[in-house]
Amino acid sequence: MSPPTVVAQNLVKWYGPRLAVRDVSFSIDAGEVVGLLGPNGSGKSTIFRILTGYLTPSSGTVSVAGHDAVTDSLALRRQVGYVPEDAPLYDHMRVAEFLRFMARIKGLSGNAATRSVARVAGRLRLDGVMDTPVAKLSRGFRQRVAIAQALLTEPRLLVLDEPTSGLDPRQVNAFRDLIRELAGAQTVLIASHVLPEIAQIAGRVMILLDGTLLTTDALKHRADIQHLRLQVDGPEADVRACLATVAGVRAISAEAGSGDAPTLYIVEAAQRPLVARDVAAALAERRLVPSELAVVPPDLEQVFLELTRRRDEVAA
């Protein structure tokens, strides 16, 4: 088995007195598409900047393809293609000029640079705008140019910071197709605060909150829990007491129904067979009749909320 492409160990980053990243460790295997999920200001961009050699960590180590981010930064940067948030580009250049400049600065020369520019322009469908000044590009095209420059040298690791922000749905779809094309051939790390987007693209999702990595595999957590949605007429305290007796039930939230409608309960339970049947049996035993009982497939949002709730509980 080949060694991981990215290894981060006990990463810590201070900005003056503010701790932006606290003791973050993870690894990413070659060919994986990994999402880094977290709200704005959670430390995603800081981790990306450390991974790309732009920032140095206050402590801890990062290596990409075996090259350390601090001691072997230039070699590391040759292995990484980076698309920063909001696609900062040189507005005074034309697209072809910009891509050629980036190709040359990344070490490609002469014909190799020309071929590489033509390849990424075709792949990102930029042929029609190659002579357009970057300043006149639409948001979508800017983002595509930024992704194109990151792919110029076919890097081992592609780091994309909020790559779909500002794109229209068609462009987002095209972007997803591109990432699916790259999966397997290249290691991709994508940051986003949009949960459904990450869920569709990434094979593994890490969740970051306030600089702390809550999980390195949220999708596995998703497989570990299930949610039941039920509506029951009766005193809430009785229903809660009844549900709490069922094995595997972890948390219960209640929402009063409008008008005469019964209260709606969302029950979080461990992923084991027949929980729904046990819930129904427990309710029947106490003569509580549910008007609705359904298993809801959990999404990343629920995993995110669950993990943050657990963290807050631990902190409290």
Positions 57 through 76 that interact with another protein (CB under 8 A): 74-75
Of the two residues 83 and 230, which places its CB atom closer to another protein in the complex? 83
By CB under 8 A, which span of 19-27, 50-58, 122-130, 308-316 interacts with another protein?
Answer: 50-58
Taking CB under 8 A as the criterion, the residue among 149, 164, 215, 226 binding another protein is: 149
Of the two residues 60 and 298, which places its CB atom closer to another protein in the complex? 60
Distance, in Å, from the CA atom of 115 to the CA atom of 152, rounded to the nearest integer, reads: 9
By CB under 8 A, which span of 33-41, 96-104, 174-182, 246-254 interacts with another protein?
Answer: 96-104
Q: Return the structure tokens found at 127.
A: 């042929």
Of the two residues 92 and 272, which places its CB atom closer to another protein in the complex? 92
Distance, in Å, from the CA atom of 301 to the CA atom of 303, rounded to the nearest integer, reads: 5
Work out the burial of residue 132: count CB atoms within 10 Å of its CB; fewer than 13 is exposed, 13-18 middle, 19 or more buried. Answer: middle
Residue 101 as a binder of another protein (CB under 8 A): the answer is yes
Taking CB under 8 A as the criterion, the residue among 22, 78, 139, 229 binding another protein is: 78
Distance, in Å, from the CA atom of 267 to the CA atom of 269, rounded to the nearest integer, reads: 6
Distance, in Å, from the CA atom of 99 to the CA atom of 118, rounded to the nearest integer, reads: 9
CB of 62 to another protein, least distance (A): 13
Of the two residues 79 and 226, which places its CB atom closer to another protein in the complex? 79
Residue 89 as a binder of another protein (CB under 8 A): the answer is yes
Taking CB under 8 A as the criterion, the residue among 62, 80, 120, 269 binding another protein is: 80
Q: Return the structure tokens found at 287.
A: 């003569």
Taking CB under 8 A as the criterion, the residue among 104, 123, 193, 286 binding another protein is: 104
Interface with another protein (CB under 8 A), residue total 28
What is the residue-wise DSSP string for 168-190? -HHHHHHHHHHHHHHBTTBEEEE
Residue 41 as a binder of another protein (CB under 8 A): the answer is no
Residue 94 as a binder of another protein (CB under 8 A): the answer is no
By CB under 8 A, which span of 80-88, 177-185, 221-229, 273-281 interacts with another protein?
Answer: 80-88
Write the binding mask 235 to 274 for another protein: x where contact by CB under 8 A, - elsewhere. Answer: ----------------------------------------
Binding site for another protein (CB under 8 A): 49, 52-56, 74-75, 77-78, 80, 82, 84, 86, 88-93, 101-102, 104-107, 109, 149
